Each structure stands twice: as C-alpha cells, then as structure tokens.
Amino acid sequence: MNYFIQSNLSRSWSYFLEMCVGLEKGHKVTTLPKREGPAARKGNKNKRVKFIRDVIREVSGFSPYEKRVMELLKVNKDKRALKFCKKRLGTHRRAKRKREEMISALQAARKAQAA
C-alpha cells in the first residue's frame, strides 16, 4: 500500500481499491473507444449518387410544381413559394430545402446565360 501512496499522491484510495460503495465503486476497467455506427454516416452523399442524380435532373428536367416554384421566385414571392412547397412536400423543413434548391437552380441558369 505504501507504494501506491508514494507513486500516485494525486489519486484517491478508491481508485486503487475495488470499493463496493460510492462514486468510484466496482471493478476498474479500461474503456474502449466507441465505434462509429452506420447511422453516423446517414445523409452523406456519395459521389456516385450525386452524379446519377445530376444526370437524371439534366435528362428529365423539373417537375411542374418545381417550375411553378421557380416562377414564384422569379417575381420575388419567396414566402408564397415556401407555402406552395410546404403544401406539396408536407413539411416545413423539406419545403425550405426545396426552395433553396430552386433558388440555386435559378442562379445557375442565370450564370449559364451570362457566360
């Protein structure tokens, strides 16, 4: 016991003894690092998936409701476009994401026309 006191003055006795009560009770074990599960990767776009979606968008174009949203955005009716998206898509978060997607599509179209 004297060895423990000399080498580790800062640690408490409960660290060395397997106590049955208190905050430090139980057998001391080294904790293993947590592994990252598949749920941690959810939502990250793969390069291949992004490429496929871009090709599909290029071939098929925009759906009718997306074209209407773009028209609303062209005349600065952002709030009306959000409400329309929400009605079509169901949730506020999806609607906001779709509106941002349509805004970026309009900006890309303007950039392509200017170049």
Confidence of residue 45 (pLDDT cuts 50, 70, 90): confident
pLDDT at 75: 96
State the maximum Cα–Cα separation within the chain, in Å, rounded to a whole number: 82
User: Could you identify the residue written with the tokens 């600065």?
Assistant: 76
Question: What pTM was estimated for this model as a whole?
Answer: 0.63
**Structural contact between residues 99 and 78, judged by C-beta atoms closer than 8 angstroms:** yes
d(CA 8, CA 21): 22
Higher pLDDT, 100 or 12: 100
pLDDT at 10: 54
Mean pLDDT on 4-8? 52
Q: Which of 76, 73, 61 is nearest to 102 (CA)?
A: 73
Q: What is the pLDDT of residues 83-97, one digit of tens each?
A: 999 999 999 999 999
Q: Tell me: pLDDT of 56 over 80.
A: yes
What is the torsion angle, in degrees rounded to the nearest 10, for the CA atoms of residue 92, residue 93, residue 96 and residue 101?
A: -140
